[in-house]
Amino acid sequence: MNKKRSPLKHLVVISAFLLPLNLMAQDDLGELFKSSPQDATKLVDAYMNPLFKGMGIGFNSGWNNTAKTKSFLRFDLRVTVTAAFVPTKDQTYNTNSLGLTSIRPASGSNGIGPAIIGNNAVGSKMEVYSGNTVVQTFNLPQGTGLKFAPSPQIQLTVGLPKNIDVSLRYIPGVKLGSDFGKIDQFGAGAKIELLPLIMGKKDKLVPFDLAVALGFTNTTYTKELDVNNGKYDNQDLEIKFKGFQAEAIISKKIAFFTPFASVGYHSSNSSLNAYGTYEFQTAAGSATFTDPVSLKNDDISGLKAALGFQLNLGFFRFYSSYTQAEYGFLNAGIGFGIGK
């Protein structure tokens, strides 16, 4: 008997988070496992780089849409999605600049391939070589056809005394089946209003709200792989994202409409590991390696500036904002809550 999925599982399945990873066919990823673990690691890093940056930004976004904190024990629960727009220059990579040791463009090929966030077209023809002997030829994998990296956020915010509220992001190891893998997420944030702290009850004389906020998020995605057509049953992919952000926010409530602006700093890093046993086509022939690919990158570190709004329609809320950073991104979503 098939078990019914919980609403949370449905939410995560339909969320855009999995779209780039699941549009990437397993045999496409397997095409990068050539020559040696060192060469494979460089190719995987180049292919996945804009996804690492885009999702790192996305999981780190959408924390706040107003400078006003919630009253004590008032709350809202929101679901938002971020689309981080990947610039054209990052939608392709050039293997000639990667320092590959036993892989090169085939005769007449330019060595350029689409990144995973890039054109849905097969990349340059490549060859594995040893001296003057060509051992094997293959094509760099195609992209997903997307121009942005999507990622969702599920967030609960609760008001505390002293004009402070705290936020929690949590997805508790939701298993989505062998085709979709599993996602774990934990994040926490806090916001404090500055004018009541500085001015006391006189803060109501100022016609806007001002706050500072910070947040961090850890996300892990795991998925079974089958790079060698069922020959090995222990192949797994693990991708981790870690992010931090801090910002100053100014907003003005106008009836049910609250526009806001913010400036701040954000950073994210990612890691990717391919665990298990894999068969490579090397310059010396077929060879097996264990846990051959391990990457760790500092993806984003810099300033950001955002404009957006919140609509408070009684029980329901609507959110939207655009942020300019290394990758510009749009965040939008819905929520519900009790009280201001």
Q: Are 62 and 271 in contact (CB under 8 A)?
A: no
DSSP annotation of 10? H
285/61: higher pLDDT: 61
Whether residue 3 is predicted with pLDDT greater than 50 in this model: the reply is: no
pLDDT digit string (tens) for 127-136?
999 888 898 8
| CB of 191 closer than 8 Å to CB of 260 | no
| Cβ-contact 211, 191 below 8 angstroms | yes
| pLDDT at residue 1 tops 50 | no
Share of the chain above pLDDT 90, in %: 60
- pTM score, two decimals? 0.86
Rounded CA-CA distance 210/260 in Å is 10
Burial of residue 40 (number of CB atoms within 10 Å: 0-12, 13-18, 19+): buried
Mean pLDDT of the chain: 87
Distance, in Å, from the CA atom of 339 to the CA atom of 282, rounded to the nearest integer, reads: 63
The domain segmentation of the chain, as residue ranges, is 7-338
C-alpha to C-alpha distance for 315 and 336, rounded to whole angstroms? 5
Percent of the chain clearing pLDDT 70 (strictly above): 89
CB-neighbour burial class of residue 140 (10 A; exposed 0-12, middle 13-18, buried 19+): buried
Instruction: Give the separation between CA 170 and CA 185, rounded to whole angstroms.
Output: 5
Q: How crowded is residue 136: how many other Cβ atoms within 10 Å of its Cβ? A: 16
Q: Identify which of 21, 335, 15, 336 has the alpha carbon closest to the alpha carbon of residue 174.
A: 15
User: Is the C-alpha dihedral spanning 102, 108, 112, 116 positive or negative?
Assistant: negative
Report pLDDT for 16.
46
Give per-residue pLDDT as tens, 234-277. Answer: 999 899 999 999 999 999 999 999 999 999 999 999 999 999 99
